[in-house]
Structures are given as structure tokens and as C-alpha cells.
Chain A
Amino acid sequence: QSMLTQPPSVSGTPGQRVTVSCSGGTSNIGRDIVSWYQQLPGTAPKLLISGDNQRPSGVPDRFSGSKSGTSASLAISGLQPEDDADYYCGTWDGSLNGWVFGGGTKLTVL
């Protein structure tokens, strides 16, 4: 059972905008920065959004992140077929003294 809650799946057509939500609590999202990770089949997760809305070099600006209170969101605009992947949110939990992650959201580009 994941400490952060994400929808199991979302879908969209090429060019559309989709969002992935991530819900937590005061000991994790409410007090620390949230990062987002993209995982393509058979590969390791890759950092997508650093901090609350910082993109590492090479990540298209179609990807953006936001946070409000104990929830965070990942937005993907101008969907591309290569965005078809699993997406995870993660943050530090000050009560557990460890990293916590969402259960992952499977994005299907129709």
C-alpha cells in the first residue's frame, strides 16, 4: 500500500493535455518537495520533474508540476506517443524518515 495516492490510469490522444494527481499528507507532500518520475517499459524510473516544478536538462517543457497543500499534480501538454509510460510521484516523509512514492499512473496515449 503506497503512502501517496495516484490514479491507476489516465489516457489521452496525441496533442491533448492530461494531468496526474498525487495526494499525500502533512508529513510528506505538505512539508517537502515533490518529484515526478517517468518509467518506460523495462527501464529504470527517470527523474522528470525536480522540486515542485523544475525540469532536468533534456526534459521537454510539455511536462510541468505543481503543488498545493498536501497534493501535487503532473501536467503533460501536447501529448506524444512516446509519453506512453508509467508516472510516479515521490517525496520525503518526515514522520517515517524515508522516501515514499505513489502507486504509479499508467498513461496510455490512444
Chain B
Amino acid sequence: QVQLQQSGPGLVKPSQTLSLTCAISGDSVSSKNAAWNWIRQSPSRGLEWLGRTYYRSKWYNGYAVSVKSRIIISPDTSKNQFSLQLNSVTPEDTAVYYCTRTSDGVNDFWGQGTLVTVSS
């Protein structure tokens, strides 16, 4: 059974960087049959896909246009995890953030969620 365990701060100041990590058990971040995503949820935006990282003989990333200029999603093979960095945050980035695994075209496993509040 795949499990995704999220960690990271729940409060970030405006203009600073939001950083979250998703530790994977039961699968490998380097799996050629999976992609690893960050998705957020807020009352105003609903479920919003932010981006993904995946390995297919080399590493690939994909990002949503809405955050492309300030997001980095990176794998850490030594710790079997992946992370999210979102720069220059504003109160609009306040949301519950989820990491997920995509396999066979569906998000079949989700992390527990992290409420991140952007406030001074």
C-alpha cells in the first residue's frame, strides 16, 4: 500500500517561500509508472493542480501556467520523497496543499493535506 506523508510549516509570511515535502512509502519516486503531483484546495479556487515530477529514463517536470514562474517541484531519490517550493507567496496562496501519486491516469493516493496560511 502506498502512503504519502507530508511535512512542512503551516504559516508563511507574504513574499517568502512556501516549502513542503512528501515522503513516499510503498513505491519509488523514480518509478517509471507514476507521476508525483502537488495539488491545492481553497474555497475560492477549488482543487487546483500545481505541477508534477516524474521519471522516464530522465526527470521531467510540468507546472500549471498560473504558478509556472514561481514554482519548483523536485525529487529526492536518496530519501524517496519530493518537494514543493512556491516563491513570492501572497494571501491568495493560502490553501490546503496535497501531494498525490498519479498512476494509470488517476490520482490514486493522496497525502493527508497541509493547511498553509500566508500571513504576516
Contacts and interface: CB of A to CB of B under 8 A. Distances in A.
A50 B98 contact: no
Interface stretch (B8-16, B72-80, B83-91, B107-115): B107-115
Which range holds the interface residue count of chain B? Answer: 20 to 34
A45 to B, nearest CB: 6
Interface stretch (A9-17, A31-39, A70-78): A31-39
B47 A51 contact: no
B46 A47 contact: no
For the complex, would chain B's binding face be called helix, strand, loop or mixed by DSSP majority? strand
Contacts, number: 60
A103 B46 contact: yes
Interface residues of A, number: 25
A24 interface: no
A35 B112 contact: no
Contact of A46 (B51, B64, B104, B110): B110
Given A56-B108, A92-B105, A98 B62 contact: yes
Given A44-B98, A98-B51, 5 more contacts: A2-B46, A35-B105, A99-B39, A101-B49, A104-B47
The 6 closest A-B pairs by CB, nearest first: A99-B49, A101-B47, A35-B106, A44-B110, A33-B105, A50-B106
Interface of B: 37, 39, 46-49, 51, 62-65, 98, 102, 104-113
